[in-house]
Amino acid sequence: MKIAIVCYASVGGSGIVATELAKCLVDRGHEVHLISTDPPFRLGEFRTGLVFHRVETPAYPLFREPQYLLSLSNAIVQLSRELTFDLVHAHYAIPHATAAYLARQILSSTSGAHVPKIITTLHGTDITLLGSDRSYSETVAFSIDRSDGVTAVSESLKRDTYRALDVQREIRVIPNFVDTNRYRRVPPAELRRQICPSGRYEKLIVHTSNFRPVKRAEAVVEIFKRIRTKVRARLVLVGDGPDLAKVSRLVQDLKLGQDVVALGEQDQVVPLLSVADLFLLPSQQESFGLAALEAMACGVPVIASRVGGLPEVIDDGVDGYLKDPEDLQGMAEQALTVLGDVKLHERLAAAARRKVEEKFGADRVVPQYEAFYREVLV
């Protein structure tokens, strides 16, 4: 198949999933064209069959607003005419589903022109935060309904979509995935010694996110503070975003500067996750929780909020723990139990890795996308 994948290039789960899907599809013999404003985060090395196309949105002094929707539609139209895509797979509804719809309308208006099918994948905040906002809801619902196929990354997000928007189209749930060959615990060696100088720290706790309010990164620090009173632990924060400055201030206010290290955006998360003992994800909302899945793939037990799609990823007490998002004390106590019990830690880590292999490995999930593509194309 010849597939165009439209996604955000910035750090964020939807862009990561779209890029990883593109790579896997190419490895399975498809031709994939990634359309984005920049080479997506985690695009990695050159692969035959995977082509990146940049969307340029020219600025003009008259406009205070960038006209991304128009330039993206335009790019899809021009590339479709040149390359005759079988389908355009839009990741994140806003505004990608709308841009794909508009492009299809333009292509359909030329008689005899090749018109690709459109698939939209809903990721979370495109529905739960933005899409359901009155400023966007009508356009988002319309664009989703006009897609030829729609997927959501969890049952929870599917339910949220029908609840929040007037959408009639059937939504197929295809969960997020990781390539279990690349996402696996690698020997920690030197990195552990660098991050955790021996003698000073016994345990390493990691949080990765885009530091948006929905992630509640300050809660991560609050939980860590409670853990730190009992265990010589270090917290590693990976990623960047609007809340990072607030988090750094909180770290200083709580006098945790020695014990918390913020690494900023990192392309290679596997080595960092491989030295972690625990992963914290106390999000307000999480339609899936790709960060939790990546940690689990690397054998790191996760303590997370019982919200959205996280219960579809984590089995409470089996391969991680789920708590009410406000229950920071409960998360801290659970963390101390896991960190203090080697056997329990081993059991959780092994169960987490097994769950990822059995349910969320690329070899399990990518064929679900291929099958859905075929269904939409007939």
Q: How many residues bind ligand GMT (CB under 6 A)?
A: 21
Instruction: Select the residue interacting with ligand GMT from 92, 101, 177, 321 (CB under 6 A).
Output: 92
Residues 288-317 vs ligand GMT: string with x where CB under 6 A?
xxx-----------------x---------
Give just the sign of the alpha carbon dihedral 327, 122, 71, 76.
positive
* Pick from 13, 31, 14, 10: nearest CA to 22: 31
- Give the nearest distance from C-beta 122 to ligand GMT in angstroms: 8
The one segment of 32-40, 124-132, 135-143, 342-350 that binds ligand GMT by CB under 6 A: 124-132
The one segment of 12-20, 81-89, 159-167, 253-261 that binds ligand GMT by CB under 6 A: 12-20
CB 320, CB 292: distance < 8 Å: yes
123 binds ligand GMT (CB under 6 A): yes
Q: Which is nearer to ligand GMT, 124 or 320 (CB)?
A: 124
Instruction: Select the residue interacting with ligand GMT from 74, 161, 210, 305 (CB under 6 A).
Output: 210
From the number of C-beta atoms within 10 Å of its C-beta (0-12, 13-18, 19+), residue 181 rates as exposed
Q: Which is nearer to ligand GMT, 174 or 336 (CB)?
A: 174
Q: Which is nearer to ligand GMT, 20 or 277 (CB)?
A: 20
Chain positions 125 to 144 lying near ligand GMT, rule: CB under 6 A, are 125, 128
120 binds ligand GMT (CB under 6 A): no
Residues 230-259 vs ligand GMT: string with x where CB under 6 A?
------------------------------
Instruction: Select the residue interacting with ligand GMT from 5, 12, 80, 322 (CB under 6 A).
Output: 12
Q: Which is nearer to ligand GMT, 214 or 235 (CB)?
A: 214
- Give the nearest distance from C-beta 252 to ligand GMT in angstroms: 25
The one segment of 197-205, 229-237, 281-289, 369-377 that binds ligand GMT by CB under 6 A: 281-289
Instruction: Select the residue interacting with ligand GMT from 28, 169, 185, 212 (CB under 6 A).
Output: 212
Q: Which is nearer to ligand GMT, 36 or 287 (CB)?
A: 287
287 binds ligand GMT (CB under 6 A): yes
95 binds ligand GMT (CB under 6 A): no
- Integer Cα distance of 52 and 39 in angstroms: 7
- Integer Cα distance of 158 and 103 in angstroms: 25
Cβ-proximal residues to 285 (8 Å cutoff; 6+ apart), any chain: 124, 125, 128, 129, 214, 307, 308
* Pick from 360, 355, 287, 270: nearest CA to 316: 355
The one segment of 11-19, 80-88, 108-116, 351-359 that binds ligand GMT by CB under 6 A: 11-19
Q: Which is nearer to ligand GMT, 188 or 311 (CB)?
A: 311
Instruction: Select the residue interacting with ligand GMT from 20, 259, 277, 286 (CB under 6 A).
Output: 286
CB 325, CB 307: distance < 8 Å: yes
- Integer Cα distance of 270 and 313 in angstroms: 19
- Integer Cα distance of 44 and 365 in angstroms: 21
13 binds ligand GMT (CB under 6 A): yes
Footprint of ligand GMT (CB under 6 A): 12-14, 17, 92, 123-125, 128, 153, 176, 210, 212, 214, 285-290, 308
